[in-house]
């Protein structure tokens, strides 16, 4: 389903001083003044993702989490395994994307399952697919979060 021009991160191949966070984000240290050589997303993309997650969470009182990375051989099972460890899992929505597998999975916590139901989750997936097909991973995720937040409401 989803696609990206960036491969999934292989933790063993990260440079010294870098780590794969549970959120899927790669965090690394560098010397002051050094420029990152190959950040997977540019500043505008990271800012857009941060803004949409913040806005959606504030507007709906539902915590939105995004994971980008390998979900294993069975992406659905990988998302199921990942979801309980996400921040505020009981009252959150997880959008998990495995770019190399072209898979997107959405999960919602027990406290918000009536608002973030299967229909709302499917709306998010549908909103993301058009951008994913064009290789625009962040644009697709931003669209998914916006559509889901609008459907959930307050």
What is the distance between the alpha carbons of residues 140 and 154, in angstroms, rounded to a whole number? 23
- 73: pLDDT strictly greater than 60: yes
Higher pLDDT: 39 or 49? It is: 49
The label of the residue with tokens 């990206």 reads 4
Q: What is the pLDDT of residue 11?
A: 74
Q: Considering only CA atoms, give the Rg of the chain.
A: 15
- 32: pLDDT strictly greater than 80: no
Higher pLDDT: 90 or 9? It is: 90
Residue 2's pLDDT band (boundaries 50, 70, 90)? very low
pLDDT in tens, 107-129: 999 999 999 999 999 999 999 99
- 31: pLDDT strictly greater than 90: no
What is the distance between the alpha carbons of residues 9 and 122, in angstroms, rounded to a whole number? 26
Write down the mean pLDDT value for the chain.
Answer: 84
Is-contact 40 6, C-beta < 8 A?
yes
- 41: pLDDT strictly greater than 90: no
Q: What is the pLDDT of residue 101?
A: 86
Q: What is the pLDDT of residue 13?
A: 78
The label of the residue with tokens 């697919």 reads 129
């Amino acid at each position: 389903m989803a696609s990206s021009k960036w491969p999934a991160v292989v933790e063993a191949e990260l440079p010294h001083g870098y780590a794969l966070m549970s959120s899927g984000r790669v965090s690394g240290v560098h010397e002051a003044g050094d420029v990152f050589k190959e950040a997977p997303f540019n500043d505008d993309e990271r800012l857009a993702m941060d803004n949409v997650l913040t806005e959606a969470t504030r507007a709906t009182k539902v915590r939105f989490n995004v994971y980008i990375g390998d979900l294993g051989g069975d992406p659905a099972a990988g998302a199921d395994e990942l979801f309980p460890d996400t921040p505020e899992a009981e009252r959150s929505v997880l959008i998990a994307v495995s770019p190399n597998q072209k898979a997107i999975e959405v999960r919602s916590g027990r406290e918000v399952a009536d608002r973030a139901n299967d229909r709302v989750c499917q709306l998010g997936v549908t909103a993301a697919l058009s951008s994913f097909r064009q290789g625009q991973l962040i644009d697709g995720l931003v669209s998914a979060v916006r559509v889901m937040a609008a459907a959930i409401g307050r």
